[in-house]
Amino acid sequence: MDAFLIKGPVRLAGTVRASGAKNAALPALAAALLTADPVTLDEVPDLADVNTMNRLLAGMGVSIDRPAPGRVVLGASRVTSTEAPYDLVRTMRASILVLGPLVARFGEARVSLPGGCAIGVRPVDLHLLALEAMGARIAVEKGYIHAHVSRVGRGTGRLTGAAIRFPSPTVTGTENVLFAAALAKGTTVIENAAREPEVEDTARLLTAMGARVTGAGTPTITVEGVDRLSGTGQMPHAIVPDRIEAGTYLAAGAITGGDVTVTGARARDLGAFLDALSRAGAGVEVTADSVRVHGGRPLVAVDIETAPHPGFPTDLQAQFLALMTQAEGTSRLIETIFENRFLHAVELARLGADVRVDGRAAVVRGPSSLEGAPVTASDLRASAALVLAGLVARGETRVRRIYHLDRGYAAMDERLRSLGASVERIDG
């Protein structure tokens, strides 16, 4: 199993380019199921999760070509199966994103129920309730979600537009409803919709395919269903830049007291995070298509609370916690999205961090002088936090189970090396 061997401390300096967002690429790939025409995507990141989604789609008969780096052309004219098997779904919860498209176009789907994951229970009940409200009959049997829309006359059954109000915003839930509503009969209004940039990007792709969507990026999205969607035609859809990857490299710049620029990053998608970075004392400079973080020693403690977009993203909480181990004073981080998302705290403590977790809050006292040690990654963003800490820890830090990191960061070792870090991918 791959591990990262990091030698610290180091001061990072240089420029990296933001990749396309994992969380926008996954729904965009799933969206190809909605049409028989080719869908061409650009800026698709080279990630384990993207490969998993491609395998899932290929298993359904979708053709997948990669004519150039970052470009994927999908063709779902001959879908032979509407099933998402357990073996793939268990490795990636976002597999649930095929549910909406399958039910919308074929009137049926059989999708393995995603299991729990390290960071919490993460149910999909809101996805299922919404599809039921749109006329799907849902049964959960033997670990699989069976969704079915009754036929009226000939042809496949068709969903009906409905008023959906999420009790709390769900990102992939909102995307599944967008897919379902795009081909439903009538109008769907989603209230308390997720406002993440990746939801907006999904709506942008659907619009390019002929869907009628308004309000994406706001809490109320309206979709007028159409009879059929087309492909992307002459204009490939370019995936929005990954704000979480960008934020991670900016945090790497800040924690090492370095000078890191991420080109292609959109500051407007990173508002709450950049605000916290500057309150912590890092210099933040924004241009139209880049964000730079520099200097900022000594850092000072800052409190944050995760929240749905535009709040502080839960996907940057672990990285920010790592940063706070180097800040002067006591910071309190509150996690409101997932119930068990402080697994990195124990591992950071192994490096010498002073972190106490109490339910949904983590209290970090800094600055700590970290010492390299073997640590084990537990989930994607926790792995990133351990890598950040390894950059400032004195001596060798071995981060094991780096496959978690490969799910969401393309070539992180190479990119960190390009900024001056000593990071090797080793077997261990």
- Hey, how many other C-beta atoms are within 10 angstroms of the C-beta on 165? 12
Question: Nearest distance from residue 120's CB to ligand UD1, in Å?
Answer: 6
Touching ligand UD1, residues 327-356 (CB under 6 A): 337-338
127 forms part of the interface with ligand UD1 (CB under 6 A): yes
Question: Nearest distance from residue 24's CB to ligand UD1, in Å?
Answer: 8
Spatial distance between the Cα atoms of 239 and 44, rounded to a whole number of angstroms: 6
Q: Which of 16, 53, 89, 126 touches ligand UD1 by CB under 6 A?
A: 126
315 forms part of the interface with ligand UD1 (CB under 6 A): yes
**Helices 380-392 and 243-255: crossing angle, nearest 10°?**
20
User: Closer CB to ligand UD1, residue 36 or residue 410?
Assistant: 410
Question: Nearest distance from residue 248's CB to ligand UD1, in Å?
Answer: 13
Selected range binding ligand UD1 among 34-42, 116-124, 249-257, 297-305, rule: CB under 6 A: 116-124
Query: With 0-12 CB in 10 A as exposed, 13-18 as middle and 19+ as buried, what is 268?
Result: exposed
168 forms part of the interface with ligand UD1 (CB under 6 A): yes
Selected range binding ligand UD1 among 120-128, 147-155, 368-376, 411-419, rule: CB under 6 A: 120-128
Question: Nearest distance from residue 125's CB to ligand UD1, in Å?
Answer: 5
52: left (phi over 0), alpha (psi -120 to 50) or beta: alpha
User: Closer CB to ligand UD1, residue 12 or residue 382?
Assistant: 382
Question: Nearest distance from residue 19's CB to ligand UD1, in Å?
Answer: 15
Q: Which helix (H) or strand (E) holds 213?
A: strand 212-214
201 forms part of the interface with ligand UD1 (CB under 6 A): no
Torsion of CA 59, 64, 66, 71, to 10 degrees: -110
13, 64, 113, 117: the active-site residue: 117
171 forms part of the interface with ligand UD1 (CB under 6 A): yes
Torsion of CA 376, 403, 420, 282, to 10 degrees: -70
Q: Which of 52, 160, 170, 331 touches ligand UD1 by CB under 6 A?
A: 170
Q: Which of 19, 75, 99, 122 touches ligand UD1 by CB under 6 A?
A: 122
Question: Nearest distance from residue 290's CB to ligand UD1, in Å?
Answer: 24
Question: Nearest distance from residue 265's CB to ligand UD1, in Å?
Answer: 17
Q: Which helix (H) or strand (E) holds 371?
A: none
Q: Where are the beta strands (DSSP E) in 33-162?
A: 39-42, 63-68, 71-75, 83-84, 108-112, 137-141, 144-148
The DSSP-derived string for 162-182 is -EEE-SS--HHHHHHHHHHHH
52 forms part of the interface with ligand UD1 (CB under 6 A): no
Question: Residues binding ligand UD1: what is the number (CB under 6 A)?
Answer: 22
User: Closer CB to ligand UD1, residue 306 or residue 325?
Assistant: 306
Selected range binding ligand UD1 among 33-41, 169-177, 206-214, 324-332, rule: CB under 6 A: 169-177
125 forms part of the interface with ligand UD1 (CB under 6 A): yes
158 forms part of the interface with ligand UD1 (CB under 6 A): no
Q: And the tokens for 141?
A: 């049997």
DSSP class of residue 123 equals -
Distances 118 to 52, 157, 171 between C-alpha atoms, Å: 19, 37, 19
* C-alpha atoms less than 13 angstroms from C-alpha of 77 in its C-beta half-sphere: 7
131 forms part of the interface with ligand UD1 (CB under 6 A): no
Peptide bond into 9 cis (omega under 30): yes
Touching ligand UD1, residues 275-314 (CB under 6 A): 314
**Sheet of 163-165: strands edge to edge?**
163-165, 187-191, 220-224, 212-214
Q: Which of 123, 295, 298, 428 touches ligand UD1 by CB under 6 A?
A: 123
19 catalytic residue (yes or no): no
Distances 336 to 137, 340, 341 between C-alpha atoms, Å: 32, 10, 10
Q: Which of 98, 124, 183, 388 touches ligand UD1 by CB under 6 A?
A: 124
Strand duo 71-75 + 220-224: pairing: unpaired
Positions marked catalytic: 117
Chain residues that interact with ligand UD1, rule: CB under 6 A: 23, 26, 93-94, 120, 122-127, 168, 170-173, 194, 198, 314-315, 337-338
